[in-house]
Each structure stands twice: as structure tokens, then as C-alpha cells.
Structure 1
Amino acid sequence: MKDPLNWELEDFNARTEEGKDISLTDLKGEVWIADFIFTNCATVCLPMTANMTRLQGMLKEKGLDVEIVSFSVDPSVDTPEKLKEYVMKFNGELTNWQLLTGYSQEFIEEYALKNFKTIVKKPGTDNQVIHGTSFYLIDKEGIVVKDYDGITVPYDDIIRDINILTK
């Protein structure tokens, strides 16, 4: 694995698509992939979510035990139910995919910038949230070790890197 990012994540408190509370502590000891999406997205979230669903299937096929965590960048709109319904349209399996909401817009904008070095910004006059399109690989200690393009996804690279982290 080359060019590690090594960004240590700060804790967060969120609610999953099942309405359960979750924090970074719940993910410690797991290798996971994170991204930022929202259900009203008219552009990049559609291919990103389709790509994440494809990645999920590839990981399952390879027997890799990896969590997927999608942070909503529009938490005032994205209820747990809306997030669950959204991912089900893509045939995503929720056994290892957590869809997070239940925090403020200010929180997710600051958290994304500080912890993932990516922009999240909801303009006051638009329902489209500006956000990055990367997939992030997080190790068992809660360190962001690598990021990947979430639109033209390098699936083989992600699987290779996950293999290294899960050994």
C-alpha cells in the first residue's frame, strides 16, 4: 500500500438506517470503507452508491469482512428510513452497510473537512449539497489510510489494500 494518508478520525455520534446509535467506538477493530452521500442528490451520489453496491458484492465474493459506512451530507432531510429506502433501490445489503444521519448540518460539514479533508457544504438556496466523491479506507484503529475515486472506482486496488489491512 503506497501513499498512506494516516488521518486519525475523531469520534462521532450518529443514527443508523435502523435507528440505532453508532459512534466511532462501534467501528474500532473493523476495516471499513466510508463515503458521503445524500438521498436527494441529482448527480454523483447515484453512480457512487451503485459503485459501492458493486464493491460490496465483490468484497463478499472474496470473503472480505469489511463494513461500509455512508455519511449523509443532508441530515435534516435524510431520515434513517429515507436512507434505507435509498440504498435498497441499488440492491445494497444492509448486513455490513451503515447509513448515518442524526447529526447537524454544521457537524457533518466540519467533520468531513477536519477528518476526511473533503468539502461538504449545503448552500442556503439549493437542495443540492456540495460534497466530495471519494471512497475512504479506514483501518481497525480508526485511521484513514487511503482514498479512492468513487466515480471511476479502482476496485482491484481497493480489494488489494483491504487484503493487506485484514491480514
Structure 2
Amino acid sequence: MSTVIGYVRKNTFFEKLVASKLFWFLFIAFTFSYPIYKSVVRELPPPLPKLYKVPEYTLINSFNKPFGSKDLEGKLYIAGFAFTSCPTTCPALMEKMDKIQKRVRGLGTNIALVTYTVDPEYDTPDVLFKFARKRHANPYVWTFLTGSEADLKKTIIDGFKVPMGKREPISGNVDGEEVSLIDIAHSEKFVLVDWNGYVRKYYETDKHSINQMMIDVGLLANSNEKK
């Protein structure tokens, strides 16, 4: 009578691994956590270039006090250009600057917003003061500047390298009546300036560009560039 000799097949290492609850726990944890890990450790964009340094300037703020580049040293600031009686683009620009003011609250005194008038003939310190109050501008963050036409042109055209036109009469319709208005050509861009007075980038005023500006402000504020 022959004897049948049998054997028991042992599971391979891989089969044991797949059968393990720990394996599946770690597999699921990795599957869900890896995309989060990639988003956290993604490579940061390169730093914004230093385009050029804005020459020193001193103008007059809405409190009728001298204010200029020296007062902005050590702060990031966003520069904008407008005039209070503007009938065309300025109201929308002011609305956007107001929203920016709210978005930068978390940076405290490390950032400033500065609006330079292109109509010093009309925009006296008192006019700017009333305009700023109407817009609920925080004077510790948002500054309005005026001065002589020569000083403003030197700062805006030569310093920030954006246009500043002359006062031009235009006709407009208010409540069904034709009225004479004043318009002045000027830049509608925002300019990001660093702590040392270097222009870093110009931005359009559409939603996407402003969002990008906020990202750039955050990256700069948290960088090691500040000396």
C-alpha cells in the first residue's frame, strides 16, 4: 500500500502583506494624504524682481502734514492713482482699494495703501480728508496724498513711471442734464512697492490680478527679503 505524501503551501510574503489590516490602513492613509502633502510642499514661485527704486519724495497728506517715501520705509505698500471728482474709472478703483484695505488687515502696520491724486488743483488736503472719511479709509493703513503739480508729476511720472495727464473738460449727463466735468488721464494700475522703496510689480485691477497681488503681498511679507 503506497503512502501519499502531501504538503501545506505557505503564503508568500506579498500574500501575507495584502491580507494584513495594517497594510490596508497604511495604503488608504497614504492615498488620501499624498495629494495634501504635495499641495503643502509644492515649490514656491521665484521672488518678484526688483524693477527699480522710486526716488525719494515728500508730498502732503489729508491731515495737511508732510508725508513721503521716508514714512513708508520698512513697509510694503500698494500705490494707486485717482482724483476725487473723477466721473469715470476712479469710483471703481476706490471700491477695489477699499476691498484691498479689508484683505490686508491681518498684516497690521507692515503694509500701507497710498492713493496719489492727479488733480492737486481741486484735491486739497481738506478735500482728501473728507473723501477718505466718506470711504471709511483707515488712516493708519490708507493714506491720500496731494501736493504741487510739479511734485506730483515728478513722483508719479518719473518715480512710478505711470502717466499723469492734464485737466480736460468733458460733457456729462447727470440726472438728465448736461453738465461740464473734468477728466484727467491717469494710470489704472496698482503698484506693489517693497520695504526699501523698490517697485516689484504692476497689476491690472481685474479680480484675477488683484488676487495675484494679494498672493504676492503674502509671499513678500513672509519672505526673508526684508533687511
Gaps of 5+ in 2: 1-45, 171-181, 223-227
Partner Cα separation in structure 2 for residue 92 and residue 82 of structure 1: 14
Sequence identity, in percent?
25
Q: Choose which of 140, 159, 177 in structure 2 pairs with 1:115.
A: 159
- Residue 46 of structure 1: how far off its partner (Å): 0.5
The DSSP-based 3-state class of the residue aligned with 1:92 is coil
Residue 105 of structure 1 is matched in structure 2 by: 149
Gaps of 5+ in 1: none
Residue 210 of structure 2 is matched in structure 1 by: 155
Q: Is 1:133 the equivalent of 2:188?
A: yes
Q: Is 1:72 the equivalent of 2:127?
A: no
8 Å Cα contact 1:49-1:87 kept in structure 2: no
Partner Cα separation in structure 2 for residue 115 and residue 59 of structure 1: 25
Q: Choose which of 137, 143, 146 in structure 2 pairs with 1:92.
A: 137
**In structure 1, what residue type is equivalent to 2:193?**
I
**Bigger Rg, structure 1 or 2:** 2
8 Å Cα contact 2:190-2:203 kept in structure 1: yes
Residue 13 of structure 2 is matched in structure 1 by: none
The DSSP-based 3-state class of the residue aligned with 2:202 is strand
The DSSP-based 3-state class of the residue aligned with 2:104 is helix
Count of aligned positions: 165
Residue 65 of structure 2 is matched in structure 1 by: 20
CA shift digits 1:145-167 (9 cap, x unpaired): 01111354633212211112212
- Residue 57 of structure 1: how far off its partner (Å): 0.3
For CA contacts below 8 A with separation 6 or more, give which structure has more relative contact order.
Answer: 1
8 Å Cα contact 1:7-1:115 kept in structure 2: no
CA shift digits 1:107-131 (9 cap, x unpaired): 3223322222211011465631110
Distance 1:26 1:121, change over 3 A: same
CA shift digits 1:28-69 (9 cap, x unpaired): 111111111111101111111110010110111x44531111
CA shift digits 1:95-115 (9 cap, x unpaired): 21111012x223322332222
